Amino acid sequence: MMTTRNFLVPDATFFIEMAAFIAVLAVMSRYVVPRIRNAMAERQNSIVAALAAAEAAEARTEDAEAEAARIRADARRDARAITDQARAVRDHLIAEGRTAGVEEYRWLAGRAGRELQRRSDLSSRRFRQQARTAAITAAQAYLGTDVDVASLSRLVDERLDGGDGNRASPAGKAAPSISPHVPAMVP
Amino acid sequence: MSALKAVSIQADIAIATLAVGVLVVTLGLLARPGSRPATPRGIRLLWEMSIDVADRAAADLPDEVRGRVTATAVTLFWFVAAANWLHLIPGSPLPAPTSDINLTLALALTAMGVVHLTGIQVRGPRGYWRHYLSPWWLAPVKIAEEAIKPMTLALRLFGMVFASALMLLLIGEILPTPAAVVPHVLWSLFDVFIGAIQAFIFALLTILYFQAVLPSSGGGLTRPPRPIPSR
């Protein structure tokens, strides 16, 4: 006689399956799940630590950027001060150079004027001397006798100092002084 | 002689259960972190996901028992899921052991046994029994509930998997072979989904039963936010 089993009623297989599951549960609870949980916790801790380190690094970066901005602002301010100072020095040097140049120009112009005057006087003296000598020689040759040298020389000087003498001899006229024109030429 | 006949063992169910046990333990041991890289991949990723979900669900339980609760729930989940899916492997000669009342009842009773033992360990025997007596007039209901819990756990799982296996059998019996292929494949895919859902429900209910007998450390089913530093 064949008996049919009621599928809602457990049989002895129940004990085998309970023993099997308890064994599996024991192995999993002891050797598998705790290790995986520990690994997960370690990884989470390392991630949290890495995030904290990243946050600290970000804070340091922000501090460094603020410090860099401050240094840039200081550098700009210093550069501006140096530029202003250099500009003032430049203006001062230009003014100084201009003053020195004007003074040197005046000195050179004065020296040139004096030199011109000296040479003009020298030429005038030579011309007078030559004129006197020529007049005396011509007078002696014309008269055939000695002439009063002093009188003739005075006469020649008077003629040279007069209007005709000036046209006849440019050297006889006193060289114009350039000194009055010098200030007009100064920039 | 009649006593020996009463000790009947269903060999295919027992072998299927042992196969599931070996499979789960093997996969668990393979998923253990060893000299592998820290980034989880493959089977280990699945294990870590399941452990994380169980940990979150058990977040308000005392720390000293949370590991045990998580281990029990995760083991139940993978064991039940593997048992549900066993008969879906193409060419598998083994039936789904959860389509037999023996395994589902064994799982439920074992789970409830762990729950009660943990409750007694945490609360102490006197404190554990005292919570059934507050208020005293509800004690019969609470005790009956404790008896009903494993029955509901076992019968829910057994009913779903048994019905699913029965559906596959009916599809094969009613429809001719060529016409039965598509419904068979579709129902098998649906069975994979149902098997995972049933395993999840079994594990989640076990965690809830743990929470019913253990003192709460605050919070709820969801874990409080992790202490990730603000950026």
Q: What is the pLDDT of residue B222?
A: 44
Residue B47 lies in a domain: yes
Residue B28 lies in a domain: yes
Residue B170 lies in a domain: yes
Residues 22-61 of B with CB under 8 A from A: 24-25, 28-29, 31-33, 38, 44, 47-48, 51-52, 55
Out of A162-171, B33-42, B163-172, the most confident range is B163-172
pLDDT at B5 over 90: no
Q: What is the pLDDT of residue A169?
A: 45
Instruction: Give the contacts of A169 (CB within 8 A, at least 6 positions apart).
Output: A127, A131, A160
Q: What is the pLDDT of residue B88?
A: 84
From B7's Cα to the closest Cα of chain A, the distance in A is 6
Q: What is the pLDDT of residue B1?
A: 42
Q: What is the pLDDT of residue A49?
A: 95
Contact B231 A58 (CB under 8 A): yes
Q: Does B107 touch chain A (CB under 8 A)?
A: yes
- Give the chain A residue whose CA is nearest to the CA of B47: A36
Q: Which two tokens stand for residue A67?
A: 């410090």
3-state helix/strand/coil string of A80-93: HHHHHHHHHHHHHH
Closest CA to B38 of A105, A81, A42: A42
Its ipTM equals 0.87
Report the amino acid identity of residue B15: I
Distance CA B85, CA A137 (A): 157
Closest CA to B62 of B137, B123, B117, B10: B123
- The beta strand positions in chain B, using DSSP E, are none
Q: Nearest Cβ partner of A14 from B55, B67, B105? A: B105
Residues 183-222 of B with CB under 8 A from A: none
Number of domains in chain B: 1
Q: What is the pLDDT of residue B231?
A: 46
- Ranges A67-81, A146-160, B72-86, B94-108: which has the least confidence: A146-160
Q: Which sign does the torsion angle of CA B90, B95, B96, B99 carry?
A: positive
- Give the chain A residue whose CA is nearest to the CA of B19: A20
Q: Nearest Cβ partner of A55 from B13, B32, B229? A: B229
pLDDT at B37 over 80: no
Mutation pick from A21, A35, A48 vs chain B, by most beta carbons of B within 10 Å, is: A21
Residue B218 lies in a domain: no
**Which letter does DSSP use for residue A32 in this model?**
I
Contact B8 A12 (CB under 8 A): yes
Q: Does A56 touch chain B (CB under 8 A)?
A: no
Query: Across the 187 residues of chain A, what is the mean pLDDT of every consecutive 10-residue run?
Result: 71 93 96 91 91 96 96 96 96 94 93 93 90 88 85 85 54 47 46
Domain that holds residue B101: 8-213
pLDDT at B117 over 50: yes
Q: Nearest Cβ partner of B228 from A21, A25, A48? A: A48
Angle between helices B101-130 and A13-27 (to 10 degrees): 60
Q: Does B70 touch chain A (CB under 8 A)?
A: yes
Residue B222 lies in a domain: no
Contact B106 A34 (CB under 8 A): no
Q: CA dihedral in degrees (B116, B117, B123, B128; nearest 10)?
A: 40
Q: Which two tokens stand for residue A112?
A: 């040139």
pLDDT tens per residue across span B174-222: 888 888 889 888 998 999 999 999 999 999 999 999 998 888 765 444 4
pLDDT at B4 over 70: no
Q: Which sign does the torsion angle of CA B143, B145, B150, B154 carry?
A: positive
Residue B91 lies in a domain: yes
Contact A8 B228 (CB under 8 A): no
Residue B225 lies in a domain: no
Please confirm whether the linkage preceding B135 is cis (ω < 30° from 0).
Answer: yes
Tell me which chain A residues have a C-beta less than 8 angstroms from the C-beta of B80.
none
A67 contacts B108 by C-beta, under 8 angstroms: no
Report residue B223 CA to chain centroid gap: 21
pLDDT at B104 over 90: yes
Report residue B49 CA to chain centroid gap: 16
Residue B226 lies in a domain: no
